[in-house]
Amino acid sequence: MTESINNTNMKNIVNVRNLVKTYQVVDKNFEILQGLNLTVGPKEIVSVEGASGVGKSTLLNILGAMDGFDSGLVEVCGIDLGKLTERQKEMYRGEKISIIFQQHMLLPDFTAIENVMIPLMISGVSKMQSREKAKSILDRVGLGERLDSFPSQLSGGESARTGVARALVAGKELVLADEPTGNLDRENSRMLMDLIRELQEELSFSLILVTHDMELASMAHKRNKILSGVLQPFE
């Protein structure tokens, strides 16, 4: 019997209700998320802000099906993440979401265009089509002249833009951005922020920004902070 991912045709791209996540530290349980609620609509940018250690990355990992949770409802792109097998979680990550990492996570032995081609080829797109799509998005982020450069030959800003191109090339409904400007200087941070905003308007994906950068968070349609394990809107 072939495994599948069941969609529930929900209106919101993300629907989280009463999410609880507990970590065990030595012999004690530490509840980092305590009944957290979150909704993200189509084409919406939502920020998740807060100090280090409050649960921002934990929430992102749960939404990316990279971490489990104790209780609550987590539905993303109409899929109930609490009901997925490990194989279905892999399929979900491959088909439904993309992630922009703070560390960029480029593969060092592959060129910029090869790094961007990888998610397409994994999903079954031909090598020729993958290269065409990768070249197009790299041109769009201003790296048309750096297609054959390896990550070690790229600047920090160029590596960040390559990471954005890789996340967006497959046209996913939801993009999760984990401190995307965290390793950049202010000038490159602003350039990347403007680029992400432009691409979000053009490609119409929903975006969750996990950040402590107030300037980056200002681009969100809805701003939220995690405080005492729950998500609170900024007044």
* Model pLDDT for residues 55-73, shown as the tens digit of each residue: 999 999 999 999 999 999 9
Tell whether 104 is covered by a domain. Answer: yes
Task: List the CATH number of the domain containing 197.
Answer: 3.40.50.300
Instruction: Tokens 């197009």: give the residue.
Output: 136
Do 184 and 208 form a contact (C-beta atoms < 8 A)? no
pLDDT tens-digit map of 196-226:
999 999 999 999 999 888 888 899 999 999 9
pLDDT of residue 8: 47
Tell whether 1 is covered by a domain. Answer: no
Do 155 and 143 form a contact (C-beta atoms < 8 A)? no
Number of domains in the chain: 1
Tell whether 83 is covered by a domain. Answer: no
Do 224 and 62 form a contact (C-beta atoms < 8 A)? no
Domain that holds residue 134: 41-65+89-233
pLDDT > 70? residue 9: no
Tell whether 55 is covered by a domain. Answer: yes
pTM over 0.85: yes
Tell whether 27 is covered by a domain. Answer: no
pLDDT of residue 5: 56
- Which strand (E) or helix (H) includes residue 35? strand 28-40
Tell whether 106 is covered by a domain. Answer: yes
Tell whether 23 is covered by a domain. Answer: no
What is the largest distance, in Å, between two alpha-carbon atoms of the chain? 55
Tell whether 20 is covered by a domain. Answer: no
pLDDT > 50? residue 2: no
Chain centroid to CA 70: 22
